[in-house]
């Protein structure tokens, strides 16, 4: 009986959130800027040194939650002599969705999902040495692979102020031949704006 009651309260909470969100759909745009540090060492991160990330994103309120667009930059430098010449730049370009839960007027938590492509630019692409009449073959220095990310963002909003602070824990996995799992913790600042009428019309 208690389980049914808790389930009912959860569904009611989601339903009320949907009504509130629907009334404010497209009303505001939030721009995010943050930097992230890698966490939770694994087989991949043991072989690569990951620089602090630079992230820019945008959130738009939708009927149920918010839609996201963004890009995050990381620099990967070899931490293993085997991959000495394999350093590369990474640009994760994504779309995503989140659903915020408000603890108070100022504090909220939003779990969500992002997916997109991880564009990688290698400093020294591998080269097959010249043999016979075929000559050497240089691999393409650019690679693009599908990636997805699970995240949870804790956000503190200032009263009667469009600015807010946020911290996000994320788990990103790029589906290369040998997958690239990376966990990160970010800290950043956000600024909300009223959506211009022409942009509202575009979204609709």
Query: At residue 179, what are phi and psi to the nearest 5 degrees?
Result: -55, 150
pLDDT in tens, 111-168: 999 999 999 998 876 665 655 555 565 667 888 999 999 999 999 998 878 999 999 9
* pTM of the entire predicted model: 0.79
Question: What does the pLDDT look like over 34-76, one tens digit per residue?
Answer: 999 998 888 888 888 899 999 999 998 887 889 999 999 999 9
Q: Is 107 left (phi over 0), alpha (psi -120 to 50) or beta?
A: beta
In angstroms, rounded to a whole number, what is the distance separating the alpha carbons of residues 116 and 55?
Answer: 14
Q: Where are the domains of the chain?
A: 26-203
Task: State the architecture of 26-203 in CATH terms.
Answer: Beta Barrel (2.40)
Question: In this structure, are residues 18 and 10 in contact, taking their beta carbons and an 8 Å threshold?
Answer: no
């Amino acid at each position: 009986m208690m389980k049914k009651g808790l389930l009912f309260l959860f569904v009611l909470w989601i339903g009320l959130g949907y009504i509130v969100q629907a009334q404010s759909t497209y009303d505001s745009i939030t721009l995010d800027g943050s930097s992230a540090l890698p966490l939770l060492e694994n087989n991949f991160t043991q072989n690569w040194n990951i620089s602090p990330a630079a992230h820019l994103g945008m959130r738009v309120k939708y009927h149920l939650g918010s839609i996201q667009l963004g890009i995050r930059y990381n620099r990967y430098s070899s931490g293993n002599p085997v991959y000495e010449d394999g350093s590369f730049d990474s640009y994760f370009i994504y779309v995503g969705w989140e659903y915020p839960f408000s603890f108070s007027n100022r504090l909220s938590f939003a779990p969500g999902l992002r997916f997109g492509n991880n564009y990688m630019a290698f400093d020294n692409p591998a080269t097959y040495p010249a043999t016979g009449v075929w000559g050497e073959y240089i691999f393409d220095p650019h690679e693009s692979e599908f990636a997805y990310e699970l995240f949870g963002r804790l956000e503190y909003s200032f009263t009667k102020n469009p600015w807010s602070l946020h911290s996000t824990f994320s788990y990103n996995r790029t589906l290369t031949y040998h997958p690239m799992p990376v966990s990160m913790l970010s800290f950043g600042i956000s600024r909300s704006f009223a959506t211009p009428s022409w942009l509202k019309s575009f979204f609709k």
